[in-house]
Amino acid sequence: MTMDDRLLTTLEDLKKGGWLVAVLGALGALLRLLLSSETHKAVEWVRRILAGAVMGLLAYFAIHGLIDPVYEAITYSTCGAVANEVVKLITSRIKSRA
């Protein structure tokens, strides 16, 4: 199976039900916000939850089909939970180079 075939298969799986990984990532971010004692504005909640969803999708494309489905789901949720720190790290690195 070539890389193009694998990508097409992954995209087909994403359309069938893989979109749930965005939900898992968002739920990971939401859970972290709920368990935190920090207070945030509603805009910050939305931003962090969306970052968790995007991070879950990125993880989907990175590991889909390579490990057991249970571990995949755990990975997607964990990626969502740490998405805020990853986004902060990337933006700080970009700003430091500019």
Each residue's pLDDT tens digit, 48-72: 899 999 888 888 888 877 888 888 8
Cα–Cα dist 73/59, whole Å? 10
Average pLDDT, the chain: 85
Cβ neighbours of 49 (radius 10 Å):
21
Cβ neighbourhood burial of 78 (10 Å; 0-12, 13-18, 19+): middle
* Residue 16, CA distances (Å) to 9, 44, 58, 75 in order: 11, 31, 17, 20
**1 pLDDT more than 70:** no
Domain boundaries, the chain: 18-97
Cα dihedral sign, 72-75-77-79: negative
Q: What is the mean pLDDT of residues 66-91?
A: 87
